A and B are shown apart, each in its own frame.
Chain A
Amino acid sequence: MGSKVGQHSISFSRPPVITVGTTIVGPIEGKGPLAQTFDWILEDLLFGEKSWEKAERKMLQESAKLALKKRNLQEQDVDFFLAGDLLNQTVSSNYAARCLGIPFWGLFGACATFVEAMLLGSMIIDGGFASKVLLAASSHHNTAERQFRFPTEQGNQRPMTSQWTVTGSGALLLEDNGEGPRITLGTVGKVVDLGISDVNNMGAAMAPAAASTLISHFQDTGTGPNSYDLILTGDLGKVGREVLKELLKKRGYLVEDNLNDCGLLIYDLEKQDMHAGGSGCGCCAVVFSGLLLSQLREKQFHKVLLVATGALMSPAIVQQGETIPGIAHAVVIESG
């Protein structure tokens, strides 16, 4: 059985294997540089449904089903289903779980949800409580916009620091044995708040959490930035990434070439006019389950530190004058 390492980290003695990864994305993501790495690119944001919320739910559901199909499994072959999304009461996940009928844990960690699910899924498997865990996370640009900001048809100008919520859902199947990349370590993040209240600058709200989790991880495991082929953050975007580098530098960690961000990978920022980059639970989920998983399988990378960051933002609470806390969870994936 795994054990706790240092103050915040967990090491797995029987590292779970990521056997399958699936991705579904919206049309804009499908026109981006990662188009080749996605399983399914939607032609429109409604996905044949009557509302965007129903479309997001269907996306999450279909990405989970596709994972089962790729592995020739039935719903009852999977022990647990872990999923989360950005909507109130995590409705997309709840309704997807209603359809799948697999014992379910609904998670909310804002855009850090996907890695939260990877961490918990790995703990469940390593603890011997399950042999197969299915996990998924989704976001949808239009459902998020209207819940967190403005109606989509409102003619307002997005500031340069704003990020574009990814329409997409990614799912992974974790198993106790098999071939593929393995999750060997994890670091659980603390909620960190350095007083950002700008709802259009999520990167700045999340960067301190990313720095906190990374530093805990390095301290707990005795590693440093150079111990990894790639440190991939979830959706800090252009602004958040610069801030993270600066915060790490202050603490004596220099990170340069091996730091990348899912929010920067998923779009062509110049051509697609995405300002600071992509965001949302789906961002990290589709970039990891698509691009990263295949790169790990092909052994282009041997050891990757995935750090998903979430801005724990509630419009009502921000209107009451509160600032926006952030959280970040990390997992180490080795190509095995």
Chain B
Amino acid sequence: MNQQQKRQREMQEEYRELIQEIKPKPPVLRNCILAFTVGGLICLVGQIFLHLYSTQGLGVKEARAATAATMIFLGALLTGLGIYDVIGKYGGAGSIVPITGFANSIVAPAMEFKREGFIFGVGARIFTTAGPVLVYGFLISVLIGIIYYLVH
């Protein structure tokens, strides 16, 4: 039994090496340049809104919140129009990491599972990716708050 398992593991290891050799490498440099450009441009648009809201007399925090909400709206709209997945194909992490990508990950499953109804379709699937983000976000936030409270 042990002998057999060992042989199996050796075969798998050997096979994995073969795959690493044969499989096409991702074009890392090209992907990074695209991610940098797309991510940078999205943040630039964010900066324009931030500037607009600040000069309209909103405080720092309010302006930031309004900017975040605006970018979420844009990300959600572009997903609905079927444009965001095309941006994502080229932008990679450049379109996943900004808050517009968070909006995309909310709308994409919700829209796609609408055919399964408004409770188990839209309502449940809307949190497919957003759920884990919020869960871990809140956990870490409360943890940080408690640690701060205990230390001070």
Question: Counting CB contacts under 8 A, is B120 at the interface?
Answer: no
Complex: how many Å from CA A318 to CA B91?
27
Separation of A160 and B109 alpha carbons in the complex (Å): 24
B95 at the A/B interface (Cβ < 8 Å)? Answer: yes
Chain A interface residue bracket vs B: 20 to 34
- Decide: B23 and A204 in contact? CB cutoff 8 A: yes
With A153-B79, A155-B91 known as contacts, the answer to whether A161 contacts B104 (CB < 8 A) is: no
Most buried by B among A157, A158, A194, A276: A157
A to B contact number (C-beta, < 8 Å): 85
Q: Contact check, A243 vs B22: say whether CB atoms are below 8 A apart.
A: yes
Which B residue sits closest to A146, measured CB to CB? B112
- A interface footprint on B91-126 (CB within 8 Å = 1, 0 otherwise): 110011000010011011101110100000000000
A194 and B75 CA atoms in complex are apart in Å by 41
Asked if A239 and B24 make an inter-chain contact with CB atoms under 8 angstroms apart, the answer reads yes
| A155 close to B104 (CB less than 8 A) | yes
What are 17 A-B pairs at a CB distance below 8 A? A50-B115, A51-B115, A151-B111, A151-B128, A153-B79, A153-B107, A154-B109, A155-B84, A155-B85, A156-B96, A160-B24, A161-B24, A194-B15, A196-B16, A208-B15, A239-B22, A243-B18
- A243–B128 CA distance with the chains assembled, in angstroms: 35
Main secondary structure of the interface of B (DSSP, over half): helix
CA distance A156 to B84 in the complex (A): 9
Chain A residues whose C-beta falls within 8 Å of the C-beta of B12 in the assembled complex: 194-195
Min CB distance A49 to B, Å, is 10
Q: B26 near A160 (CB under 8 angstroms)? A: yes
B33 at the interface (CB under 8 A from A): no
Judged by a CB distance under 8 angstroms, whether A43 is at the interface is: no
Interface: B89 (CB within 8 A): yes
**Contact between A154 and B108 (Cβ–Cβ < 8 Å)?**
yes
**Which A residues contact B (CB, under 8 angstroms)?**
50-51, 146, 150-161, 194-196, 201, 204, 208, 238-239, 242-243, 246, 276
Question: What distance in Å separates the Cβ of A123 from its nearest Cβ neighbour in chain B?
Answer: 32
B115 near A153: Cβ-Cβ < 8 Å: no
What is the distance, in angstroms, from A196's C-beta to the closest C-beta of chain B? 7
A198 to chain B, nearest CB (A): 8
With A151-B109, A155-B101 given, name 9 new contacts (CB 8 A).
Answer: A146-B112, A153-B82, A154-B88, A160-B25, A196-B19, A239-B24, A243-B18, A243-B19, A276-B24
Tell me, yes or no, whether B54 is within 8 Å of chain A by CB. Answer: no
User: Out of A157, A160, A243, which one reaches B89, CB within 8 Å?
Assistant: A157
Whether, in the assembled complex, B87 has its beta carbon less than 8 Å from a beta carbon of chain A, the answer is yes
* CB under 8 Å from chain A, chain B span 1-42: 11-12, 15-16, 18-19, 22-27, 31
Q: How far is the CA of A153 from the CA of B79 in the complex (A)?
A: 7
The interface residues of chain B lying within 8 Å CB-to-CB of A159 are 26
* Smallest Cβ-Cβ distance to A208: which chain B residue: B15
Question: With the chains together, A161 CA to B25 CA distance in Å?
Answer: 9
List chain B residues, Cβ under 8 A from A50. Answer: 115
Is B88's CB under 8 angstroms from A155's CB?
A: yes
